[in-house]
A and B are shown apart, each in its own frame.
Chain A
């Protein structure tokens, strides 16, 4: 017994090191292995509050660009209105699902990272505003990411610039789809893989979100084709997509709350259970 105590006393530093190292490696491996199981994230009172303060200061510095972006978005929406035959006509009411299948929550990016392989954003709205994990996040130019963790006041977003992110996307002109990921290299480009060779694609074609995703509505802009490669092993296309969004400069974003999402997921789970 004495020897055990002696051993522990003599090696107390080493044991403490191993214990703490075990905890930290556990956190590391967990954050890499699972899609969403972060124990420690910046969606909390402390870091969210700090980032909000910092952002309050930074916001003044790019008010002008934010204003320009908003004015452009307004102009685009205006032009949609002008196309209508009758601007006063009310959209048709769907008596089962209500007026819109999706709701939108406006939010602001208070922290943005784009320099590592796994990038996350922090937003200043959380579960009190109705934000839940796995909601889509877009802005006026295109998609931004998917909600990861939420706290009462803040939420974190898996950016599309994250090697773990996988989003269903398709060509705008045909319905050939693939999955959109990031290879961790350039912040301006993402990769669309598994597009069949049958698809006729050209440089400059637009890529939009696909209809298979329950997170994003269909036809939200992502980017244009910059380079087309053919994978040696699978013989599918791997397409370099130039993003419409500048992911290094994000201000206001919209969180998409899909009303059909739960219904679709429940239905699919039911089928899995039956099998």
Chain B
């Protein structure tokens, strides 16, 4: 129990630091930047405390907003993702996900990929809607969501493979 808590705190700080120092400065084609810090919410233990996750994502988002000068857009996007995470689990792993030992931190299967894809899309869509905050930027929102999603997923998968504990 305690080790899981420490792993999560460590992940929280490390992902935030890497996001702020490295990934916030990546501007592919001028406006496409990845947000792999949401791996914290994606990789949070499945059956752990849900209010803990909500509170943690709130702080995760608010620190991001502080560093990006963006009001509350990261906070809102993270909260929405954290709240709908159980539904995404049910959608991608089937109804009985709670009784299986779902481990995301492992080889990429179609279920795991679906889950990561949906999480990233939801987060980025909310993020870019709130960032533009105007319906006249609709196509801009869609394009940014699309490109950033692809970019984030690639980096998320690379990170998962890099930190995957080597068992075999």
Of A25, A30, A41, A118, which is within 8 A of B66 by CB? A41
Q: How far is the CB of A140 from chain B (nearest CB, A)?
A: 24
Find out whether the CB atom of B27 lies under 8 angstroms from the CB atom of A28: no
Find out whether the CB atom of A117 lies under 8 angstroms from the CB atom of B131: yes
Closest to A116 in B: B131
Q: How far is the CB of A201 from chain B (nearest CB, A)?
A: 27
Closest to A42 in B: B69
Q: Which of A16-24, A211-219, A234-242 lies at the binding interface?
A: A16-24
Whether a CB of chain B sits under 8 angstroms from the CB of A198 is no
User: Mask for B36-68, Cβ within 8 A of A = 1, else 0?
Assistant: 000000000000001100110010011001111
What is the bound-complex CA distance between A25 and B21, given in angstroms? 26
Given A21-B79, A24-B58, A115-B33, does the pair A47, B67 have CB atoms closer than 8 Å? Answer: yes
Whether a CB of chain A sits under 8 angstroms from the CB of B118 is no
Find out whether the CB atom of A21 lies under 8 angstroms from the CB atom of B67: no
Interface residues on chain A, number (Cβ under 8 Å): 38
User: Mask for A1-40, Cβ within 8 A of B = 1, else 0?
Assistant: 0000000000011001100110111111111100000101
Find out whether the CB atom of A156 lies under 8 angstroms from the CB atom of B69: yes
Q: How far is the CB of B168 from chain A (nearest CB, A)?
A: 37
Whether a CB of chain B sits under 8 angstroms from the CB of A81 is no
Interface of B is mostly: helix
Find out whether the CB atom of B54 lies under 8 angstroms from the CB atom of A17: yes
Find out whether the CB atom of A113 lies under 8 angstroms from the CB atom of B72: no
Whether a CB of chain B sits under 8 angstroms from the CB of A44 is yes
Q: With a CB–CB cut-off of 8 A, which chain B residues contact A30?
A: 71-72
Other CB < 8 Å A-B pairs besides A42-B67, A114-B27, A115-B32, 19 of them? A12-B51, A17-B83, A20-B54, A20-B79, A21-B79, A21-B83, A24-B79, A25-B76, A27-B71, A28-B76, A28-B130, A31-B71, A31-B72, A38-B71, A40-B72, A41-B69, A54-B21, A113-B68, A184-B140
Q: Which residues of B contact A (CB under 8 A)?
A: 20-21, 24, 27, 30-33, 50-51, 54-55, 58, 61-62, 65-73, 75-76, 79-80, 82-83, 130-133, 137, 140
Q: List 6 A-B contacts (CB under 8 A).
A: A16-B55, A20-B58, A28-B73, A29-B71, A51-B67, A248-B30
